[in-house]
Amino acid sequence: MGSGWMGPGPGPAVVWGFCWLFSGLFSKGLACPSSCKCSSSRIWCKDLNAGISAFPVLENSADLENIREIYIANQGRLAGINDNDVAIYPGLKNLTVVDSGLKSVARRAFRKNSKLNYINLSRNKLSRLSKKPFRHLNLSRLILSDNPFQCSCDIMWIKIRQNSLIADLKDLYCMNGNMKIPLSDMQISNCGLPRVNLSVTTLTVLEGSDVTLHCDSTGTPTPNVSWDISYVVSKNVVLTNKNSASLTLMNVTFQDNARYITCMAENMVGEDQASVELIVHFPPQIIFMGSPTLDYHWCIPFSVRGNPKPKLQWFHEGAVLSESNYIWSMIHETSNNSSEYHGCLQLDSPTHFYNGRYTLQAENKYGSDNHTVLAYFMHGPEDGEEAITDPQFYEGSVERGGKEKRGEKERRGHSVSERRRVEDISLGLPRVNLSVTTLTVLEGSDVTLHCDSTGTPTPNVSWDISYVVSKSVVVTNKNSASLTLMNVTFQDNARYIPCMAENMVGEDQASVELIVNFPPQIIFMGSPTLDHHWCIPFSVRGNPTPKLQWFHEGAVLNESDYIWSMIHETSNNNSEYHGCLQLDSPTHVYNGRYTLQAENKYGSDNHTVLAHFMQGPEDGEEAITDPQFYDFFETTSNDIGDTTDDRNQITSTDVSNEGNEDSITVYVVVGIAALVCTGLVIMLFILKFGRHSKFGIKGPSSVISNDDDSASPLHHISNGSNTPSSSEGGPDAVIIGMTKIPVIENPQYFGITNSHLKPDTFVQHIKRHNIVLKRELGEGAFGKVFLAECYNLCPEQDKILVAVKTLKDASDNARKDFHREAELLTNLQHEHIVKFYGVCVEGDPLIMVFEYMKHGDLNKFLRAHGPDAVLMAEGNRPAELTQSQMLHIAQQIAAGMVYLASQHFVHRDLATRNCLVGENLLVKIGDFGMSRDVYSTDYYRVGGHTMLPIRWMPPESIMYRKFTTESDVWSLGVVLWEIFTYGKQPWYQLSNNEVIECITQGRVLQRPRTCPKEVYDLMLGCWQREPHMRLNIKEIHSLLQNLAKASPVYLDILG
């Protein structure tokens, strides 16, 4: 940002009055909003009566790119600049929103407005303002005066900027309570710029090796640390941890030699960065060697790469060629990582004596390479004439023969007699005349360039082909020269080839730009790497610039705000492009094969890589396919609806085949016949077995009692009087079951693969006739849940009360998920994990059988035994839980979590609503199939189907969807808070958006009134922002166990 970037002032507002007068002339051709005025390049909305609440949008999308200025004033209902408000105007340079109700600016508001130069947001209602919307802009002015900023760390970046720049900032204040103080006087503790600390600043490695770079940072608030790997070619992995990040380069390539790799640290105050210079040593390689060409001297061109710089040695016919005044190497070092060299072996007027094989050997301490070309300079002596082998003879010195060699006069000047004649001739500078100044050719073709000159004396004409890679021949003739390029290579694209004319008066030159068209070639495509976004790196060459098209699993991949290509054009003749396919927070639905196709009118090329971003949905989990769900976590200051953007979906093309119409007809006929037959069978079945339940389970108790019972909500279940449950169950009995199929984003257990299942896993199969249904408890997406009696399940009892969950979807995939989850649940055997008895797979529907817990879910139990129980109790008030009983409950949950962690499972939805209470205050962990219906306010709905327990989630789960044992530890801390508040909802006084803001900004729940200090300290240990700083789950269990043992637990509360 330039100086004066935040000063107050009128800016471009002065011209608006004139623009307003002529707006009618311009706006007729535009589809301008009725509340604004428009010209071909401006939009202004300042009519107080025709107020706007959202940014103006032109109806004709073709006009959007032409807008350069937007001026908005007196719009009290305009509260924010959102992500896409300004992004639709890519050419916008000046933005003014003044005297309005602006309260927020989204962090990605200007992501597509790189041309923005002037922003005026004065006299609004901004109390906070992040630097993130502005950090990539090159602003000449940012005016923020007369906004009610709150004195906080959020605006410290503005103070730092104002202190470092010369600008009039007298109107910038902030509010500290009711006191208005100048921003320059604001003092905020624990609020400072980050600082990057690197372990090394220069690192030398050998090509093909692996190396790890470490970067730490300091600063408050704790900065986010990342490595910029945009231009790194080697395969790499970045790992971040609290205030540090490590970058591991694998199989380092020479292309990263002399690469500066930058580590960046950023917090809300500002950013810092430092770079490591990577020096890659590798053996030499001669990448090009051409036949001799004639310019001023003969030249054998070559290109060599290597580091350290290779030692070059020439050989002629196998013998060492010593350099001299007549034969020498001339090297031009390129900027390609300072390890590639182009040059010539120069030969001054070689004779036939120098014909033959020329070998170049390049060598450094890591290896060597050599290459040979055949050179032919002139015919040998005719008719047996004795050859003159002394090169000095050909210099034509007067002492050696009294004659100068051919052309020597032109180089040395004129003889005395000639000078006398020149005095009588008018002298003139030479002038170069080219037949063309730009020439476009196709790769592989031959082309000849002509160059003439005028001037007195007659000038010498030559072509400078020092950097020409294609094979070339120069022919000179009096005052002209022609250059023939053979089999033109793409390496000469955008090459300027000079023609030079020189006489004794002076010189002139002019250049031909050679444009080489050639088909695209994908020269590199790497596996995905994670930095700020996921990146699939690629390098493509081609001219004209290739059109790039991405495919995912063979279907066209449409670019959007969440998936886009970012290309960096290199200086390699403007025909080589390095870039990334950027993916913003991709989920498992984006796993698969990614194909890049590069195409221009001369051909195409494609390449495919396999990408794996995250584990797929476990146990039939329903995939979240709406990318806006993930964008939500980057825009927590804005309300998010359930809208979906069709542009963000990966689409495939339907292909029709008329030849299949006959087959389709046959399928339809067969299908109709099958349906008719199936209907007849069902009718016969009903007539014969009409008294049986829909499960095929015999017995009068197997049917649902009545419609009222069936419709009863989960928290009002009453048991039948003639069942064993009458003496055991309570009115609040809740069952545990399989996570619904398909599940939501938070499955019961995460990371479930076949490797987690024991090889001897045996799922118990229960006969269908042993299950007697009592009543229907509810229905979810997976199917219905029933209270039932199960016979012959336990040797000790003839029958026991169980909960059964049915599978509605009978597809092959659903069945596979059903069996897979059954194996998982069979393996989870612990006294504090709800017991899974087995399955029934005889016929349909498929059934899972679970343990029945007498007192229902823990949240309802806590509320029923808390100080507010009198408000909910229908009879006598239940006894209130004691502190020791709360500790007893807590240590049982911790014991169950220790077991899950030992089995490498992450719960992801740990909460009191997902724990069950049995006899004698026995508590077990589970996940309810219908808990999201009963406790819907505990979840935040995203995208229409996905429900997230954000009040129990740590920052990394909210922002990055990262779920680990450490994120379960955070949730366990919230469960402790629930227990000691008798089941209150965390952050009950805040909306979901406010909760997200609190958690991501580092705020934690306050200490409950009845909570001991030792327990709250334990909660704080669970709520450390950095996952690795949180308490270990075993530590938590041990601490709770010791606290619980300190006082006895009285169980008569459950009498």
- Buried b vs exposed e over 1001-1040: b needs ≥16 C-beta within 10 Å? eeebbebbebbbeebbebbebbbbbebeebbebeebbebb
Q: Which two tokens stand for residue 441?
A: 């050719």
Active site residue 909: yes
DSSP 740: P
What is the distance between the alpha carbons of residues 47 and 44, in angstroms, rounded to a whole number? 9
Number of Cβ atoms within 10 Å of the Cβ of 368: 17
Q: Is the dihedral of CA 914, 916, 922, 925 positive or negative?
A: negative
Beta strand residue intervals within 88-147, DSSP E: 94-98, 104-105, 118-120, 141-143
Integer Cα distance of 127 and 847 in angstroms: 56
β-bridge mates for residue 815, sequence order:
none
User: DSSP states of 752-803 as a string?
Assistant: --GGGS-TT--PPB--GGGEEEEEEEEE-SS-EEEEEEEEEEETTEEEEEEE
Cα–Cα distance measured from residue 692 to residue 694, given in angstroms and rounded to the nearest whole number:
7
With CA atoms as reference, report the closest residue to 974 among 904, 1053, 1049, 1030: 1030
- Rg for the chain (alpha carbons), in Å? 40
778 has binding-site annotation? yes
Does 785 count as an annotated binding residue?
yes
CA separation for the pair 460, 481 (Å, rounded): 9
**777 marked as binding residue:** yes
784 annotated to a ligand binding site: yes
The answer on whether 782 is annotated among ligand-binding residues is yes
Residue 805 assigned ligand-binding role: yes
Output the CA–CA distances (angstroms, integers) from residue 427 to 451, 479, 507, in the order listed: 21, 16, 13
441-to-388, 474, 489, 797, 1013 alpha-carbon distances in Å: 44, 18, 10, 91, 81
Which residue among the candidates 492, 909, 938, 968 is catalytic per the annotation? Answer: 909
Beta strands in 271-355 (DSSP E): 271-289, 293-294, 298-307, 311-316, 319-320, 327-333, 340-347
Residue 118 DSSP SS3 = strand
Nearest of 143, 24, 15, 144 to residue 68 by alpha carbon: 15
Strands 534-543 and 507-525, bridge-based pairing: antiparallel
Nearest CA among 237, 236, 224 for reference residue 263 = 224
Q: Binding site annotation covers 980?
A: no
CA-based nearest residue to 449, from 411, 478, 488: 488
| Exposure letters 81-116 (e unless 16+ CB within 10 A, then b) | bbbbbbbbbeebbbbbbbbbbbbbbbbbbbbbbeeb
Give CA–CA dist 894/903, Å, rounded. Answer: 14
How far apart are the C-alpha atoms of 925 and 899, rounded to whole Å? 11
Q: What is the DSSP letter of 726?
A: G
- Determine if residue 37 is labeled as part of a ligand binding site: no
- Tokens representing 820 are 């897979």
Residues at the binding site for ATP are 777-785, 805
Q: Which residues are annotated as a binding site?
A: 777-785, 805
Report, as residue numbers or ranges, the catalytic residues: 909
